[in-house]
Amino acid sequence: MSNGSTVTEFLLLGFSDVRELQILHAVIFLLIYLAALVGNLLIISAIVLDHRLHSPMYFFLVNLSILDLSSISVTIPNSMANSLLDTRVISYPACVAQVFLFLTFTSTDLALLTIMAYDRHVAICKPLHYERVMNRRAFVHMAAGAWIAGIVNSAVHNGNTFRLPFCQSNVIDQFFCDIPQLLKLACSDSDLIDVGLIAFGVLLGLHCFVFILVSYVQIFRAVLRIPSEQGRHKAFSTCLPHLAVVSLFLFMAAFAYLKPISSSASNLDLVVGVLYAVVPPTLNPVIYSLRNQEIKTALKKLMGCVTLLNWREAARSLLHP
């Protein structure tokens, strides 16, 4: 593209130019998307329908599942459609919207994971004060604050990125619109913005990581002082899934955004994109359902109710054809 020309659309990086492999990519992404959809919807349904789980921790978990569903819905369906239609085009407004939404959901995700660490810290280290500290008004305000912080963070980065003119090229070396790849296409020198983006992201992530780490050091100290083995097991069962989700999220994000940005497209860029945009939202429900006994019980109860309803419907259809 010549200098001074205006970009009206972008070309995303495809997984393959071979038609059969494009279909295979669409099928694989469809299966991953359905797994994430079913897993997160099951978590949400189990918590909403089980009154024993109407507590701050599980209220935050519902928000986390909503964020996971939203973030994966921003990237995967568009990529599947491109593969099926054999196109890589995404319009400028659609790219702006995709960046804004994806960054909003991932930023809110990090804020919410930090709040969930604080919730576990209060519940285990200060159980007598839990009802007072984590009252309904407090945890609703915390969740709202996480969403607002995510939206503001996304708006700032989105505005700083798309105020730049793009004339180097219109080819984005990723399967969805991503800020680090967009900065490579800017006409003007974007080094300052690039450094600012990385510095702000590292500072934010480091601050949240340190807060979560300190919280869990105190949590584990408190858990080890619990006299009964059953009590320790119950405490660990609510903490370990959250710690695993936090580790997965921060590791993937750090690997994606701290990796040196290559000047040319590579398969590694696609792999990194899948790792931090697709893997966490898909695995989070599995992590919580496997390690949290209360979630497992609620899911079994939910599946039992669904099975019973199916049997009743089948019996009615046989008795009243």
Q: How buried is 174 (Cβ within 10 angstroms: 0-12 exposed, 13-18 middle, 19+ buried)?
A: buried
For residue 289, is pLDDT > 60?
Answer: yes
Judge contact between 142 and 59, C-beta under 8 A.
Answer: no
- Residue 316: the pLDDT is 55
Judge contact between 247 and 239, C-beta under 8 A.
Answer: no
Q: Give per-residue pLDDT as tens, 83-122.
A: 898 888 999 999 999 999 999 999 999 899 899 889 988 9
What average pLDDT does this structure show over 243-267?
A: 69
Judge contact between 232 and 223, C-beta under 8 A.
Answer: yes
For residue 1, is pLDDT > 50?
Answer: no
Question: Of 313, 315, 311, 291, which is closest to residue 303 (Cα–Cα)?
Answer: 311
Contacts of 109 (CB under 8 A, 6+ apart): 64, 67, 68, 71, 150, 249
Q: What phi, psi does 89 have (nearest 5°)?
A: -80, 135
Give the DSSP H or E segment for 59: helix 56-85
* Most confident region among 11-25, 198-212, 289-303 by mean pLDDT: 11-25
Residue 319 lies inside a defined structural domain of this protein: no
For residue 176, is pLDDT > 70?
Answer: yes
Radius of gyration of the chain from Cα atoms? 22
Strands (E), 77-137: 89-91
Which token pair is 1? 């593209």
Q: Cα(2)–Cα(24) distance, rounded to whole angstroms?
A: 36
- Residue 141: the pLDDT is 93
Q: What residues make up the domain containing 223?
A: 9-294
Residue 223 lies inside a defined structural domain of this protein: yes
For residue 265, is pLDDT > 60?
Answer: no
8-state DSSP, 214? H
Contacts of 239 (CB under 8 A, 6+ apart): 120, 124, 216, 219, 223
CATH code of the domain in which 204 resides: 1.20.1070.10
Instruction: Report how many domains make up the chain.
Output: 1
**Which has more confidence, 235 or 3?**
235
- Percent of the chain exceeding pLDDT 70 equals 83
Residue located via tokens 């919410």? 112
Judge contact between 281 and 68, C-beta under 8 A.
Answer: yes
> Is the sign of the CA dihedral 94, 95, 98, 104 positive or negative?
negative
What average pLDDT does this structure show over 284-297?
A: 75
For residue 159, is pLDDT > 60?
Answer: yes
Residue 300 lies inside a defined structural domain of this protein: no
